[in-house]
Chain A
Amino acid sequence: LETRRSKRKYAVIKQTSIRAGAAILLTLLLFASLLQGADRRDDIVKILTGLQNYHYGDDPSKVRALEQIVREIAREPESSRQLEGEILRILASDQTSLPAKGLLSRQLSVVGSDQSLPTLRSMLMMEQTAELACMAVRGILTEQATLMLHEVMEQAGETTQVGIINLLGERGERASVPVLIGRISGNSSEAVLLSAAAALGKIGTEAAAKALGDARRRSSAALRPQLTQAYLQCAQTLARQGKPAVARQIYGELAAKQEPLVVRRAALVGTIELGGQEALAEVSKVLKGADLQLKSVAISESVRLKGTEVTRQLISAMGHLEPWHQALLLEALVERGDDSLVRPVIVQALEAEASVVREAAIRSMAGIGDASSVGLLVKIAEQGHPSQQAALFALGRISGPGIEAALLESLARTGPQLRPALIRITEIRGFTEAIPFLKVQALSKETESAVASLRALGALAGPSELPALLQILMQCQDRALARSAEAAVVSVARKVRPEQRPAEAVIALLARQSEPAVRSSLIRVLAGIGGERSLTVIEQSAGDADAEVRDTAIREIADWKNAEALPALADLLAGSPEAVHRILLLRGFTRLLQLPARRSPEETLRWYRKGLESVATVEEKRLVLSGLAAVPSPGALALVHPFLQDETVRDEAQVALDRIIGRIEAQSLFDGKTLEGWEGDLDIFTVEDGTIVAGSLEQNNPRSGYLRTRTSARDFELRVTAKLAGPGDNGGVQFRSRYDEGSKRMSGYQADMGSLRGDQPINLWGCLYDEGRRNKLLVIADQEKLKRVFKPGDWNNMVIRAIGKRIQVWVNGERVTDYVEEDDSIWQEGIFALQVHGGPPCKVWYKDIWLKKLE
């Protein structure tokens, strides 16, 4: 039976998730039984009954369960009706709390049907529940529901009436119109009248329009704005329903001079939206009128009116407008697409007196201009500020046949002032036909044009141009220009895969050159091309007889992009270069070592060890320390450690140390459940609620207990969170300790916890005690700091760090102990142990125990 049952359950779940399309994951057991089908009805009743006494702030899982039921069954008509019935039963009950009714009404808005109407009707009659009923009835879009609302409205109080009228407005049924008209013409309260007017606007029949118009005309000034809004709404609804005549009449009425601006604006927008001759006439009237705000609206909205006749009329209005609106109209005209009509207007406006019009016209050329406009735009640009920017913008964007050729022609003809900007435009346009011209221009005496050409060549030229570009580079006289040429060569070379780049050609060229400046150029190009072969050649040049060549080579190796340069860098560093180069090389060296790489940390450390051999100055030491700080390995600690003795970089060394330790991965010594990995007094230490607990608060602890690790460590960082309680509160963490099986004694350092009571009380947290060895406090933790950070009776966090002879302890992030062992006979390696002290009642809790081995 078990098997069959679970099989069936599986099947149903599967079916549900396919049907649902959305898998719903819920952490409530109840749902599992829900899905079994047979008992579904009982479960629904159980959940609904359970909700009957729901109050705000109660356990929400019942509510979530209700929502889940609705999700699961709302789409099956039969179950949905069943669920609705159950909901109604609870809703109707006097025993049901108001918050529960709220929840159920929200669900009814999804599953409600005509079945709900009687219950909702009585809820509407009660002030307390009327709002909830409105919520539920919102979704029930049947005729019966509308009729019910009409009926209830007659008997309901004002607030409910307003709620119902609003619902009727949203439902938009013509049947409601007479009822609502009754509300705006009778002696309704203001609230009822206004909501009825708004509802009529939304339903929008001709009768509604007439009633609203009448009401508006006879209304007081106070109510008029809202009635006007309803009237406008009515016009919009009528227009959407395909009754433009009434709408147009309303807009005409509202366009009258005495109406407020917002109303006239709305009337104008409405008229234009309706389109036709009337719309065009209205636009023309406004454009020739005096109202500035309406002119902007007319121009902006005119885009909706189609046809060349409209374009003509708009053009004819141009003369009536002041510059700002002319500019707006120009842009609106360009959007129309009647380019042949509009282009002459734009061309004429290029000469306009007002700069705002001129610039709008120039910019418009981007959309409407053709090849013949190029020369014109170039001419405008040649005149310089202020129209130059607009002209260049248009030249960058203008499209159509012949543009490129026209641009090339202008490029050749224009003077040195504008040429660089036009060259930049060829680059933006991706105009490869300009390459021959650019190659010539790259060697021009006009430096700016030459620089712009080289830049454009870098962007546009393909690999086939590389020999030509190298030639240009060799011919560059000017140093600044040579740099641009180098950049162009590199940019083009990098467009192909590394192995296809022309390193060999450049190397051959380099071998034939004697001029230091040219050789330096080629070295930079080689570096840009990259690859091992280039690197080898550059490394050779680092030993060149010429100082400039040497300098260039060293700098390029120091700036190398990837780790393949490490051996070269190490070799150069070992060759005792001059001070400036040492720093550059070392900087490159540490930078490359910090790039992500497949190298093991050990290999990285080998490189650092090599680098350290040549380190001499403070700055160099800092560089290497900052690099080492990024290596997450105990080996890095060993390299950093000696620098702690070096006065000049002690702080940097400390920071590096902290960073390295921070990056080394920690292992957890406590799994939160068992004492696996621990040994010792297992009768005293137990695990409760994810913590290790020992001791008693009721009675004295007969003896000290230790829970020992098997793990042993010399250099390490240990983190633990602990809490102590009781009059004899004392615990601690043994480290670098030994345990003698014979004498059952623990000996070694202890980072203490607890308090020493008496005349001079001491907070023992973080103090170092030498347990079972010298049997004394080696150092008392900084009591001032403890006062600040220690949380009595609560969890406190302790970190013990021991490296070499130095032992440091932090409590809640504050270093309270810093101790250096001076007795060489004291052993420095051993196990860890958690302690509970024997004596007066004391209980200790330990958790979150993490160890980082630093050796």
Chain B
Amino acid sequence: MKSSSVDRRRFLQTAGAGLVGFPTIIPSSLWGGTPPNDRITIGAIGLGPRCESVMKHFFTFPDFQWLAVCDVQQGRLDRGKGWVDEHHQNRDCLAYTDFRELLANDKIDAVLIATGDRWHALASILAAKAGKDIYSEKPMSLTIEEGRAVVSAMKRFGSVYQCGHQRRSVDSYRFQNEIVRSGKIGRVHTVIAQNWENPIIKPDAPQQVPPGLDYDMWLGPTPYHPFIPTRFREWNYYWDTGGGTLINMGCHYTDIAQWGFETDDTGPVHFEGTAEFIANNAVDTPVRAEVTCTYGDGRKLVLKSRGTFPERYLRFEGSEGWIRVDDETDLITADPPSILRIRGSQARGWEAAGDHIKDFLDCIRSRRETICSPEKSHRATTIGHIANTCCRLGRSLQWDPAAERFVNDAEADRTIARSMRPPWHL
């Protein structure tokens, strides 16, 4: 086990939670001068279902004072303002349709970014420039270049950034990781990450942009495309606006794999696999795919995109056993079975983002690095991006994690970045 200073700090902060419990280390009243400064003021950008779910967990912390919400869809904006007003029992929540105006509000300390993938990196960078701390939903970027730009912007402005890879903070995966690191399944050689498969969608003609939607802002930096309802709803599965489940769900799993492998500052070097595209599918990501990512020392991470949503799981395999977490049911299975005698097989599951938010909150106050720091999250997300490139180019790839370039492969290098629709730029 590596023993960098960051590890030592982390160890002191979080280790042993399951062994000898100890109280919260940072009493909120110690921060700042006057009592009102005690609370972190926060706004939300992007008010879809994911925001609703995460915000509920934020609401359990009285330390956050919600000041504003923002969305390009009027209906969502009204709904989001409703959540906050109900939470604070007033009508004070500000509602913006342009997130730049929200960022310009000096009273706001932090933002929750839960837009579509196309905005994650850019909104995070602009928020950092405005001096905010950031909790951004995953995946943190649409391209590798975007991810690197987020890392450097967070560094540049000294912002606290937590990526929504909340599985690092949830019971089931934390336990899995402890088991892996303690050597109970021997030397780990393989991680299998099962995501669901991408949909088949019928082609559909463009329609009038519905009233109450700022479509130009919705598109943001992505290439212009007329409004097509299926594409608008399922943006997740189109290259222009997302990357399918290999990145969307995959980044959670690559994050946990990197954690277990202790490769948080690097990544695999070889990628190969298979992808299935369907000819008459409006969706341009592969319907099914399987990409094997091999690290320099031969360890493998297998990303699968197949099957249905509830079938997703993450499995570590070692020389002396394995441990698997089923995401849908939060059920842990393992071999040798004695592992499960340490605790039951039922865990608190992936949705419980509370500890992840707690970590964000503690770091806002201490200015420390979060558990899903920009660098770690970028490295994890990069794996998903390269797996996608592997599918798009239809061939195996060699990656140099130090240079963050492909090895003698100008064609693949071109997928590292994309141009942005003016005026947007990183």
Contact = CB atoms under 8 A, between A and B. Distances in A.
A110 B20 contact: no
Interface string A144-183: 0000000000000001101100110110000000000000
30 contacts: A21-B272, A22-B396, A27-B278, A28-B279, A56-B206, A56-B225, A60-B203, A64-B281, A67-B392, A71-B395, A74-B411, A75-B411, A110-B414, A131-B224, A138-B418, A162-B423, A166-B420, A167-B419, A191-B423, A232-B156, A233-B156, A236-B156, A300-B367, A334-B8, A334-B12, A363-B25, A390-B22, A396-B19, A397-B15, A428-B20
B76 interface: no
Interface stretch (B26-34, B208-216, B324-332, B378-386): B26-34
Interface in A302-344: 303, 323-324, 327-328, 331-332, 334-337
7 closest Cβ contacts across the A-B interface? A262-B131, A21-B396, A57-B205, A71-B394, A166-B425, A139-B414, A163-B422
Interface in B253-292: 272-282, 284
Given A335-B5, A389-B20, A61 B280 contact: yes
Given A163-B419, A198-B425, A266-B156, 14 more contacts: A22-B272, A23-B274, A58-B203, A60-B282, A64-B280, A74-B393, A110-B393, A162-B422, A199-B425, A269-B158, A300-B366, A363-B25, A396-B19, A424-B20
Nearest to A24: B394
A28 B424 CA distance: 38
B129 interface: yes
B344 interface: no
B395 A22 contact: yes
A622 B86 CA distance: 47
- Tier of interface size on chain A: 35 or more
Interface in A99-121: 102, 106, 109-111
B226 interface: yes
B21 A389 contact: yes
Contacts of A410: none
Contacts of B395: 19-22, 71, 75
B366 A328 contact: yes
Residue among A132, A324, A390 with the highest chain B CB neighbour number at 10 A: A324
Contacts of B367: 293, 296-297, 299-301
A67 B16 contact: no
B392 A61 contact: no
Contacts of B418: 109, 135, 138
A854 interface: no
A570 interface: no
B12 A366 contact: yes
A170 B20 contact: no
Interface in B148-182: 152, 155-158
Contacts of A301: 158, 367
Nearest to B364: A296
Given A22-B273, A170-B425, A367 B33 contact: no
B408 to A, nearest CB: 12
B155 A20 contact: no
B111 interface: no
Interface string B377-412: 000000000000011111110000000000000010
Interface in B193-239: 203-206, 223-226, 228
A56 B20 contact: no
Interface of B: 5-6, 8-9, 11-12, 15-16, 19-23, 25-27, 30-33, 129-131, 145, 152, 155-158, 203-206, 223-226, 228, 272-282, 284, 365-369, 390-396, 411, 414-415, 417-426
Given A328-B366, A356-B30, A336 B278 contact: no
A102 B32 CA distance: 53
Contacts of A56: 205-206, 225-226, 228
A328 B366 CA distance: 7
Residue among B21, B203, B419, B423 with the highest chain A CB neighbour number at 10 A: B419
Contacts of A327: 25
B411 A110 contact: yes
Given A75-B395, A300-B368, A24 B411 contact: no
A269 B155 contact: yes
B279 A57 contact: no
Residue among A24, A59, A137, A199 with the highest chain B CB neighbour number at 10 A: A24
B12 A367 contact: yes
A269 B155 CA distance: 7
Nearest to A392: B20
A191 B425 CA distance: 12
Given A331-B9, A363-B25, A265 B131 contact: yes
B155 A296 contact: no
Contacts of A199: 425
A260 B369 CA distance: 22
Residue among A67, A198, A199 with the highest chain B CB neighbour number at 10 A: A67
A334 B394 CA distance: 49
Contacts of B130: 262
Nearest to B7: A335
Contacts of B273: 22
Contacts of B275: 22, 24-25
A364 B11 CA distance: 10
A522 B3 CA distance: 48
Contact of A57 (B203, B415, B421): B203
A213 to B, nearest CB: 17
B276 A25 contact: yes
A68 interface: yes
Contacts of A60: 203, 279-282, 284
Contacts of B224: 102, 131
A71 B393 contact: yes
A771 interface: no
A292 B223 contact: no
B30 A324 contact: yes
B12 A138 contact: no
A738 to B, nearest CB: 46
Contact of B419 (A19, A58, A138, A270): A138
Nearest to A365: B12
Nearest to A134: B419
A350 to B, nearest CB: 16
Contact of A335 (B8, B145, B280, B420): B8
Interface string A206-241: 000000000000000000010001001100100000
Nearest to B104: A225
A22 B366 contact: no
